[in-house]
Structure 1
Amino acid sequence: MTTTTPQQNKEIVLEAFDALFNKRDYDAAKRFWSDSYIQHSAHISAGRDGLFDLIRSLPDTLRYENHVIVAEGDYVIAHGRFSGHGLPAAWIAADIIRFENGELAEHWDVIEDEATRANSVSGLPMFGDQFPA
């Protein structure tokens, strides 16, 4: 059984997300996601293959940018932006990942369309300190 620290888990998530979402390197991504990966997202089919198949179906322009990442024990929460997926607005997501044996073992998320300045009631951006262009 491999034990990783919360700091290592954060680094693994960022490397895994970059490999899958930005580089589309499925062989590299397989090193990060468990064979028995559990997917709780309503819009993604079960397992690691479900996630990988979703990414394969999206445009090559898909990009992930991380804004904040926190970890405690075997859990990581990454607040990020998914853009270039072919829809009118980028997605702002809070991805919750549970680690097991040093791998991404389970995932939940909360996703919403990124607000523009015109439709932000608070007047504040959802990601970083600037509204999308």
Structure 2
Amino acid sequence: MTTENKTIVQRALAGLIETGDVDALAQLLKDDFVHHRPGSITSTKREWLAAVRAALVPLADMRVETHQVLADGDHVVVYSRRWLPDTGSEIAVVDIWRIDDGLIAEGWEIIEPVAQVAANLAWWEPAQC
């Protein structure tokens, strides 16, 4: 099951990254799919897919390097780095996906700008002026 779940997530992400085919991605999501972001932000399947579609044009040149794909039971974790070649902007991303009956049922996404990594190592310290 773990290998099958990794394959589902890898197929979904590869299709989106390589072709920008949001409709193919949509077919791999359950109808009641929920996407979570920090700060209690959640999106329905329809809302999340609309956001993905809206990001396709400004992120058309985005490069994605996947470093880890780990699976345990019905959860798959993907660690990647993403950047825009012309701007130098780079982010580190951790996605956690929950699989149910062969479809992606839930997703969590945490994004950290690489330029802020050093500052975030001591997030509890007061900001220096």
Q: What's the TM-score bracket when you normalise by the shorter of the two chains? A: 0.7 to 0.9
> Could you tell me how far 1:120 is from its partner in structure 2?
5.2
The match for 2:15 is: 19
- Note closer, same or farther for the CA distance 1:48–1:88 as it changes in structure 2 (3 Å cut): farther
- SS of 1:68 mapped into structure 2: strand
- Note closer, same or farther for the CA distance 1:56–1:80 as it changes in structure 2 (3 Å cut): same
Deviates more, 1:6-15 or 1:69-78: 6-15
1:51 aligns with 2:45: no
Q: Distance in 1 between matches of 2:31 and 2:87?
A: 30
RMSD: 2.7
Q: Distance in 2 between matches of 1:105 and 1:86?
A: 35
Q: Distance in 1 between matches of 2:69 and 2:92?
A: 13
In structure 1, runs of 5+ residues without a counterpart are 122-133
The match for 2:64 is: 64
Of residues 31, 35, 48, the one that matches 1:35 is 31
Identity of aligned residues (%): 28
Q: Distance in 1 between matches of 2:38 and 2:47?
A: 11
Larger Rg: 2
C-alpha contact (below 8 Å) 2:79/2:94 kept by paired residues: yes
Select the structure that is richer in strand: 2
Q: What is the letter of the counterpart of residue 68 of structure 1?
A: Q
Deviates more, 1:60-69 or 1:35-44: 35-44
Q: How many residue pairs end up in the alignment? A: 115
Q: Stretches of 4+ moved more than 4 A in 1?
A: 42-45, 85-88
Q: Residues 44-81 of structure 1: CA distance to partner in whole angstroms, max 9, x if unpaired?
A: 76122222222222222234331101101000110012
Q: Distance in 2 between matches of 1:83 and 1:48?
A: 25
In structure 2, runs of 5+ residues without a counterpart are 120-129
- With the length of structure 1 as denominator, give the TM-score of the two structures: 0.72
Q: Distance in 2 between matches of 1:53 and 1:15?
A: 20
- With the length of structure 2 as denominator, give the TM-score of the two structures: 0.74
Q: Distance in 1 between matches of 2:42 and 2:17?
A: 16
